[in-house]
Structure 1
Amino acid sequence: MFDGNAGSPPGADANVARLCALYDGLLARADATISAEAESELKALAKIFDLDAERPAAELWPYVRAVLVRQAPAATVAPAPEVGPLTVLLVEDDAEAAAALTEALDAAGHRIVGPFHSAEAAEAATALHPIDAALLDINLSGEATGLDLARSLKARWGVPIIFLSGDVSAAAANAELAAAMLIKPYTGRDVLDALARIATPDAAVA
């Protein structure tokens, strides 16, 4: 859910704990190697966290790990640039999180389409409202998931997607769909910074 505080405790999500156990062990030694599957997942995570996925795995993992446990060093991600108002599709089936996000987006001057609790309702709304970006929970009420909606939005409109989820594995497996991902619990500032970065893709990452 949305968290108005600055961070979340390490290992707050089972997927995060799994990844830390996997890569901490694999990359504990300088001469360690990882499987092609593990390296692919690591690079996918790096891409959706806006990190340099071309670094060697042993160099990349500490940065990915820092983002996963919300202890990123200040140099990992560049400050978000200022952007003008965006029209943002919000799909989040946690009512409290949706309300808090709506408030944060509105206060920053963005226009919100939603919030919607289901992918079906959100997709219907996109036919009526041109949108600049979509904030999507992966696991939603209804038959369709946030992944299904992301595929449709990208195929039909080319909309940049930000996943809002604790399902790190699902996001990594579908990294080609996302411009960014925020792990729950996230803050309003996290969301606004992510929107700013996808709106200005030339923004540099350390």
Structure 2
Amino acid sequence: MFDGTLNATIGEGVELDRLRAIYDGLLSGSPDQPGDEAMAELAGMARIFDLDADRPPADVWRDLRAVLMRHGSPVARRRDAAPPPRPLTVMVVEDDPGMASELTELLAAAGHGVVGPFSEAAAAGTAAALHTLDLALLDINLAGDGDGVVLARHLKETWGVPVIFLTGNVAAAAENARLATALVLKPYGGRDVMDAIARTVASGAVAP
């Protein structure tokens, strides 16, 4: 199972550009395939992020690449973690009451407006029609009708709201990475969330 110590270790020792140079050929069917040592590294990284390594290497790399690109390396976080240029209106959707409260306090302390927190996708979806949102912080596994993936798709396709997934379900996050601008893996700290928000703003996903 994923933990923050393993994540820090892999992040500090891995450059995404280096990994893409080694493994992207798997996705294109390149005849230059990674060697045995590289394949062992790929399987090891997949297990650290709680992904199923007992699949074709191209499938493993596709999911791992999505996680790494959305989660961001420590180097990328340091470079892009400038404060947002203006206060944001952020929806919080998290069915753990303690985590929802901490997120709300964190965002308010940073000067952002908070819509929520909501514990169910249906209530959050209704609220999205009533507020102008800059961003949504969204758990993938939610109680009630509908899950976080369905809600993320609704927010993105209906209202154009960028989503940051907050989750320990790395496989689900990887499978649905196209719906999110960033990924914060549980357990996380406040700095991880604020860095992900800063990266999302820096990417241009949030309207100026």
Normalising by structure 1, report the TM-score: 0.71
Provide the residue aligned with 1:47 in structure 2. 69
Relative contact order, higher structure (CA 8 A, sep 6+): 1
Letter in 1 for 2:83: E
Q: Distance in 1 between matches of 2:170 and 2:191?
A: 20
1:132 aligns with one of 128, 131, 134: 134
Identity %: 48
Question: What stretches of structure 1 move > 4 A for 4+ residues in a row?
Answer: 30-34
Distance across 2 between alignment mates of 1:147 and 1:31: 30
Q: Confirm or deny that 1:87 pairs with 2:95.
A: no
**Alignment-mate amino acid for residue 43 of structure 1:** R
Distance in 1, matches of 2:38 and 2:70, equals 26
| Structure with the largest fraction of helix | 2
Normalised by the length of structure 2, the TM-score is 0.70
Q: Is the 8 A contact 1:47 1:175 kept in 2?
A: no
Matched letter for residue 82 of structure 1: P
Structure 1 pair 143–9 and aligned structure 2 pair: CA distance change class (3 A): same
**Code of the aligned partner of 1:100:** E
Distance 2:172 2:150 in 1: 12
Deviation at 1:79, TM superposition (A): 4.2
Q: Does 1:196 align with 2:198?
A: yes
- Classify 1:128/1:44 alpha carbon distance in 2 versus 1 (closer, same or farther; 3 Å): same
Distance in 1 (CA, whole Å) between partners of 2:70 and 2:39 is 27
Gaps (5+ residues) in structure 2?
8-22, 24-33, 43-55
> 1:37/1:115 Cα in 2 relative to 1: closer, same or farther (>3 Å)?
same
User: Aligned partner of 2:98: which letter?
Assistant: E
Determine the structure 1 residue equivalent to 2:154: 152
What amino acid is aligned across from residue 154 of structure 1 in structure 2? K
Unmatched 5+ residue regions in structure 1? Answer: 1-6, 12-22, 51-66
The CA RMSD measured in Å over matched residues stands at 2.6
Q: For residue 81 of structure 1, what is the amino acid of its counterpart? A: A
Change (3 A) 1:27 1:106: farther
Give the letter aligned to residue 63 of structure 2.
E
Match of 1:183 in 2: 185
- TM-aligned CA deviation for residue 98 of structure 1: 0.5
Structure 2 distance, partners of 1:35, 1:9, is: 25
Hey, what does 1:10 align to over in structure 2?
A: 6
Instruction: Give CA-to-partner distance per residue, 1:28-85, whole Å, 9 cap, x none.
Output: 61577862211211221122124xxxxxxxxxxxxxxxx6xxxx4xx35324112110
Q: Distance in 2 between matches of 1:145 and 1:187?
A: 23
The one-letter code matched in structure 2 to 1:98 is A
Give the letter for the 1:37 counterpart: D
Amino acid at match of 2:110: A
Residue in 1 that maps onto 2:118: 116
Amino acid at match of 1:48: R
SS at match of 1:186: coil
Q: Secondary structure at the match of 2:6?
A: coil
CA distance in 2, matches of 1:120, 1:30: 44
